[in-house]
Chains A and B, each alone.
Chain A
Amino acid sequence: MSAEAAYLDRYLPGASALHGADARAKAPMTVGFILATSALPVGAWAWYGVMCAAVWLAVAASGVGLRRLAGRTLIALPFVLAAVPAIFTRPGQPVGELPLGPWSLTAIDAGLVFCGSVLLKSWISVTAASLLVATTPATTLITALYALRVPPVLVRIVAFMHRYLFLLTEEVARLLRARASRSAALDGPVGGSVAWRARVAGGMAGALFIRTYDRAERIHMTMLARGFDGDFRQRAPVPLSRASLTGAAAVLVACGGVVALAHMSAWL
């Protein structure tokens, strides 16, 4: 396995109770937790603290390490940027000015609260999702999705993507290496024009698409050769243990309780 492929593997092996828990319980718990977090009212800082504490406790119990997980949660940042315009557009009291050359943007208090809420909620949600992925091997998670009756075509797409993402990454790395090793320089101007470089990059993307398409055709052939008839068959899962069911139910009820309490305290 190449370095690129190793980097893609998100599972961090461990022996914690969270690692050992049934993925069919962990996945709904995580989804429930994320839904509850996003359903909390805007500006309910104390409740965000409760959710944050809950997810940190789980991270601590898993032994994955908060610092290691925190790096992965940065993936939430680009989504938070979408909430930034709200700082300047929500109705409310102005709290400051941001000069932009001849213009200036006025920050609004309600907008700041909204943006801060989105930032915190996204970060808590992504931490929970990262924890699930760090404590559950991808293959187990995929099997759990089948068992949870997620439409099999969707799960199959996820499974194929996971399986072939590694190959695709390696293929891209090989293409880039081949380009880099021929990107030699002599004295004088180097590198060609931007248009030429764009054409090269476009060609590479095209080559990659055709290779991927060809591979998909070949995979389909190997499936047909083993009797595939278009219908996805899956093994019957073993029943979920009582402990897993109770655990999942407890977490989901607690999440519901937090949302209800947070909304009630917001009204009072």
Chain B
Amino acid sequence: MTVAAGAPALAINGLTFHYPDGREALRGVNLTVQPGEKVALVGPNGAGKSTMLLHLNGLLQGGGSISVFGQELRGSDKRTLQQVRATVGLVFQDPDDQLFSPTLAEDVAFGPLYMGLSEQEADRRVGQALAQAGLAGYENRMPHHLSGGEKKRAALATVLSMSPRILCLDEPSAGLDPRARRGLIQLLAQLDQTILVTTHDLHMVRELFPRTVIMDGGLVVADGPTGAILADQALLDAHGLELP
């Protein structure tokens, strides 16, 4: 994958997508994210947030264009797409989907091994990613023996081990109890990657993300500093958002 100097981390232009049943999920999304930015993507259920995330590493391909550090995804060959997947780490909403291996170590090593890294390097990254996620010593634990909060952090570790430059997380704090949620927020605060997070947790948005994007009906309807967006009660009301 060629990285253009000075290119934005993500540049999405006129992204459209139809589900096979004809339903329109994205109707021309425009969004640019600069390297190192931390952006929250909020909006009602069905707004197209998760669908958009699936486009960012080529899992879904719609109309319009997406480039990752200057690399256009449209028309990219399989090899380039795989390189993009090492750059854009996607963490899915349900950690039980993300954690599919018998043990945590195997799951966290999955990405590094597919990137072609040596086993020693994969092991080193497993240790590092688990420690970063606060799960040091959990290598041989089975996913179904973990609590909800641990599963969420483990799912993040499976992507951190790939050292992606961009992290995309789908509702990372959903369904967590206050303590687990706090642990996750602290973990996200320590990460220095470019981060794009879809969420309904406006508390977390206020705490962690300087920039907020609102999506509704398959479009970006607002984009600006979090303070200004969350202060606009009429805007929040119009898109089914509620301040904590």
Chain B proximity of A225: nearest CB distance (Å): 4
Count of chain B residues with Cβ under 8 Å from any Cβ of A? 34
Asked if B144 contacts A225 (CB within 8 A), the reply is no
Given contacts A226-B162, A227-B115, A233-B113, contact A218 B97 (CB under 8 A): yes
Chain B proximity of A2: nearest CB distance (Å): 9
Select which of A139, A160, A236 is within 8 A of B103 by beta carbon.
A139
In Å, the complex CA distance between A226 and B98 comes to: 10
Asked if A139 contacts B85 (CB within 8 A), the reply is no
Asked if A222 contacts B92 (CB within 8 A), the reply is yes
Chain A 216-254 interface residues, beta-carbon cutoff 8 Å to B: 218-219, 221-229, 233, 235-236
Asked if A229 contacts B97 (CB within 8 A), the reply is no
Interface 1/0 per residue, A153-182 and B, CB below 8 Å: 000000110111011000000000000000
- Interface majority SS (helix, strand, loop, mixed), chain A: helix
Select which of A139, A160, A166, A236 is within 8 A of B100 by beta carbon.
A160
Task: Give the chain A neighbours of B85 by CB distance below 8 A.
Answer: 224-227
Task: Give the chain A neighbours of B113 by CB distance below 8 A.
Answer: 233, 235
The reply on A215 being an interface residue by CB < 8 A is yes
The reply on A1 being an interface residue by CB < 8 A is yes
Asked if B159 contacts A226 (CB within 8 A), the reply is yes
Task: Give the chain A neighbours of B143 by CB distance below 8 A.
Answer: 163
Asked if B94 contacts A224 (CB within 8 A), the reply is no
Task: Give the chain A neighbours of B57 by CB distance below 8 A.
Answer: 225
Chain A proximity of B144: nearest CB distance (Å): 4
Select which of A167, A226, A228 is within 8 A of B144 by beta carbon.
A167
In Å, the complex CA distance between A219 and B59 comes to: 12
Asked if A229 contacts B100 (CB within 8 A), the reply is no
Known: A160-B100, A215-B97, A218-B92; 13 extra A-B contacts, CB below 8 A, are A138-B102, A139-B142, A143-B102, A163-B101, A163-B143, A166-B144, A218-B97, A222-B92, A222-B98, A224-B59, A225-B59, A225-B90, A227-B111
